[in-house]
Amino acid sequence: MINCLIIGSGGREHALAWKLKQSPQLGTLHCAPGNPGMAALAICVDLAFIDAPTVIDFCRQHTIGLVVIGPEQPLIDGLADHLRAAGIVCFGPSAQAAQLEGSKGFTKDLCAKYHIPTAAYQRFSDATAAKAYVTAQGAPIVIKADGLAAGKGVVVASSVAEAHVAIDSIMSTSGAALVVEACMVGEEASFFVLCDGTHVLPLAAAQDHKRVGDGDTGPNTGGMGAYSPAPVITPALIERTMDEIILPTVRAMAAERIPFIGVLFAGLMITADGPQLIEYNCRFGDPETQVLMLRMTSDLLPLLLAAATGTLDQHEVQWSQDVALTVVMAARGYPGPPLRGSEIRGLEALATDPDIVVFHAGTTRDGARLLANGGRVLNVTARAATVAAARQKVYAAIDKIEWPEGFCRRDIGWRAIGGNKPDVAGNQRNRGA
């Protein structure tokens, strides 16, 4: 039996806890800090997880056999390095390997050196030079801050003037470095693999919905809903993604003596020329994990343990034929400052259907009351034979939740269901190339 500790408190970590809880190999499950949803499955502990010595002490006291680090920040800060140095088995990349997410410049340079298909780019530390380059290239063009920016550091500029404004704004707020990229055209999808430094176990594809509003309008968010599998990534495209993007990256990291251990999350643009890398994340996606966990029929615990201990070549992963779809319910104000403290009722009524799971993110308890305490608050997730059926189940469930201060998108899954996007201007936009 293996005692596990999950670090994090979002919908992603609730989904991981829900899945690990089903493992016959699980001993006790701890979560730090966890959330009210996770508290129903695990012992939640209020560890200051940035503080590695506290986590190490906790792991020793509770004979933790596997630590699973959910969010990117503790990875980028080196928590996995500290744990491994203390002899604690940990699922998650080193700080150096987490640069795949933490530094866009690092990733772009790696792609260039190892011929991994991605948009052409230049790095700049000077606004004047960046503007001159943009003027020479023309629009559309993409401007990115070279660091973690919670999805807010990227501007897809449709004019040179807009690009210049973005350069000034990034240079004034995010410090010194930015990347200017060619604009890729196509449909976006995410692909996930587990890595143990050497071996790669492909998981599955999913599609997120990054904009806050229906019809993919409004500002970017952490993700407002997702489904898996993503029909845009056909088996042939998965093979190309593995051969042209994932495997070359994992080999490159090993060759650079920065082996990647954990989950590698590729943000892809499916262009007319095939899959191209938009970005890497060094951790599970949120809300993509919620749908992956509902579809995975294999035991997750041995897979994460194998990734952490270099034995992933001895494992396979099985998936349900069903589709899973999740819709994020967010508090009013999100992605700006969310309204906190409003009460959520009616979740108990949903607990009877095994194909519907409500994962918590920004929730808190006040006695028996469940309150909103963050931007993304709930992930209402369902499994069914088709995207349309899963979506119908999710929205029927959402309609039973009493939370007037919350909102959600009503069109999650539109690409897979409708094909055409209802454009705000009233036009129909074709599916990506």
Chosen from ligand AMP, ligand GLY, none, partner binding at 285 (C-beta under 5 to 8 Å by type): ligand GLY
User: Shortest approach of ligand GLY to residue 305 CB, angstroms?
Assistant: 23
Question: Minimum distance between the CB of residue 253 and ligand AMP, rounded to whole angstroms?
Answer: 19
The option from ligand AMP, ligand GLY, none interacting with 356 (CB < 5 to 8 A, set by class) reads none
Q: Which residue ranges make up the site for ligand AMP (CB under 6 A)? A: 119, 142, 144, 151, 154, 156, 181, 183-184, 188, 210, 267, 278-279
Nearer to ligand GLY, 146 or 288 (CB): 288
Q: Smallest distance from the beta carbon of 348 to ligand GLY, in angstroms? A: 28
Q: Which backbone phi and psi does 411 adopt, to 5 degrees?
A: -125, 25
Site for ligand GLY, rule CB under 6 A: 208, 222-223, 281, 285-286, 288
Residue 156 binds which one of ligand GLY, ligand AMP, none, with CB within 5 to 8 A depending on kind?
Answer: ligand AMP
Residue 184 interacts, among ligand GLY, ligand AMP, none and using kind-specific CB cut-offs from 5 to 8 Å, with ligand AMP
Of 97 and 154, the one with the shorter C-beta distance to ligand AMP is 154
- Cα–Cα distance, 222 to 191 (Å, whole number): 16
Report in angstroms how near the CB of residue 208 gets to ligand GLY at its nearest. 4
Q: Which is nearer to ligand AMP, 82 or 104 (CB)?
A: 104
Contacted entry of ligand AMP, ligand GLY, none for residue 288, CB cut-off 5 to 8 Å set by kind: ligand GLY
- Nearer to ligand GLY (CB atom), residue 222 or residue 406: 222
Q: Give 208 or 322: the residue with its C-beta nearer to ligand GLY.
A: 208
Residue 406 contact among ligand GLY, ligand AMP, none, beta carbon within 5 to 8 Å by kind: none
Tell me whether residue 21 or residue 211 sits nearer to ligand AMP (CB atom): 211
* Closer residue to ligand AMP, CB minimum distance, 89 or 148: 148
Question: Omega into 140 within 30° of 0, i.e. cis?
Answer: yes
Cβ at position 398, least distance to ligand AMP in Å: 25
